[in-house]
Amino acid sequence: MKILVTGNAGFIGFHVVKCLLERGDSVVGVDVVNDYYDPTIKEARLRILEETSARTGSAYVFLRQDLADQQGVDDAFREHRPERVIHLAAQAGVRYSLENPHAYVQSNVVAFTNILEACRHHRVKHLTYASTSSVYGANTRMPFSEHESVNHPLQFYAATKKANELMAHSYSHLFGLPTTGLRFFTVYGPWGRPDMALFLFTRAILAGESIQVFNYGNHTRDFTYIDDIVEGVIRTSDDVARPNLAWDSDSPDPATSNAPYRLFNIGNNDPVHLSEYIEAIEEALGRKAIRERLPLQPGDVPATYADCTELEKAVGYKPATPVREGVANFVAWYREFYRV
């Protein structure tokens, strides 16, 4: 199968493409490779994908393309004719959206419009795209369920991803484009993003520097290991979205539709206190952290917890990697990559 994957130089996109190549799919990767964080790690990921293609014999093409360029996106689809699309490219980061909201409009709204239009006009059989647990915003009923409304985002980043879900539904309804949105819960693991807590904490502890522990350490997160995310992404991409024939417009379910549209959580379904997460890092490093306890940051959500019942029912899979195991794998990778 020929699959176009956006954001393939990014953390999740890299792992998804590598897995697809290893199972024998033909992949077209698209990424602008911006400098939101150090491009060195992105270029290293891209080299590994080239090596994986050569080792497996799976066809792989990489396009260094800005998805906000409508003509460039259309040209890519016209030339490569993907059967399915996995859209993982986005401007990520909660706090950066307070500083540079326009970057989120370009990367998360304009680019997604271009992807939807290309999928529509080039008759893509299924679009799977990344959303985020951040869309739950002010919701407090735990665990978070796709069947609850998410109309109170706490950051602009979350608002753009909620917009993606609404935009996808309109294309599913108007043009019959099957779409599946995936709400990721705090993804971590080898080759992760340098702006995320695990990366920042590991670097600081090794350097003997203090780590910033916001909300005085009272966060809980549904930390989800990268391999579990990848398995969920690929399984849902393989399982094309269909209309829910039992959908009732008098009592509309936000997670499905009478159009070929659906939403899934992908989380570990096992929230972990931030202090336990830090202890796992300390254990893997063999060093203690110096903790600087600070107030809750603007836009932060105190707790996340994923209900993954629908994902398990649909594709027979539920993330389950223990945090200590996942953190140890990250630390081993970090030490090897940075030679520390």
Supply the pLDDT for residue 298: 82
3-state secondary structure 318-338: CCCCCHHHHHHHHHHHHHHHH
Supply the pLDDT for residue 92: 85
Residue labelled with tokens 């059989």: 125
Supply the pLDDT for residue 141: 95
Supply the pLDDT for residue 125: 98
Supply the pLDDT for residue 114: 98
- Residue range 54-98, pLDDT digits in tens: 999 999 999 999 999 999 999 999 999 999 999 999 998 877 888
Supply the pLDDT for residue 299: 77
Q: Which helix (H) or strand (E) holds 181?
A: strand 179-184
Report domain extents, the chain: 2-338
Rounded alpha-carbon distances, angstroms, from residue 299 to 99, 152, 314, 331: 12, 12, 32, 28
- Residue range 113-158, pLDDT digits in tens: 999 999 999 999 999 999 999 999 999 999 999 999 999 999 999 9
Beta carbons within 8 Å of 219's beta carbon, 6+ residues apart: 273, 274, 300, 302, 303
0.85 cut: is pTM over it?
Answer: yes
How many C-beta atoms lie closer than 10 Å to residue 155's C-beta?
A: 24
Structure tokens at 111: 């680019």
Torsion of CA 301, 306, 310, 314, to 10 degrees: 110
What are the catalytic residues? 157
- Residue range 276-308, pLDDT digits in tens: 999 999 999 999 999 999 998 887 888 999 999
DSSP structural state of residue 308: -
Query: Is residue 48 pLDDT above 90, yes or no?
Result: yes
Q: In the structure, what pLDDT confidence band is assigned to residue 318 with cuts at 50, 70 and 90?
A: very high
- % of the chain exceeding 90 in pLDDT: 93
Residue labelled with tokens 């799977």: 128
Q: Alpha-carbon distance 276 to 280, whole Å?
A: 6
- Residue range 244-286, pLDDT digits in tens: 999 999 999 999 999 999 999 999 999 999 999 999 999 999 9
Torsion of CA 110, 116, 119, 121, to 10 degrees: -90
Supply the pLDDT for residue 45: 98
Supply the pLDDT for residue 227: 98
Q: Alpha-carbon distance 247 to 244, whole Å?
A: 5
- Residue range 206-242, pLDDT digits in tens: 999 999 999 888 889 999 999 999 999 999 999 999 9
DSSP result, 68-135: T-HHHHHHHHHHH--SEEEE------TTHHHH-HHHHIIIIIIHHHHHHHHHHHTT-SEEEEEEEGGG
Q: In the structure, what pLDDT confidence band is assigned to residue 198 with cuts at 50, 70 and 90?
A: very high
Pick the CATH number of 2-338 from 3.90.1150.10, 3.40.50.620, 3.30.10.20, 3.40.50.720: 3.40.50.720
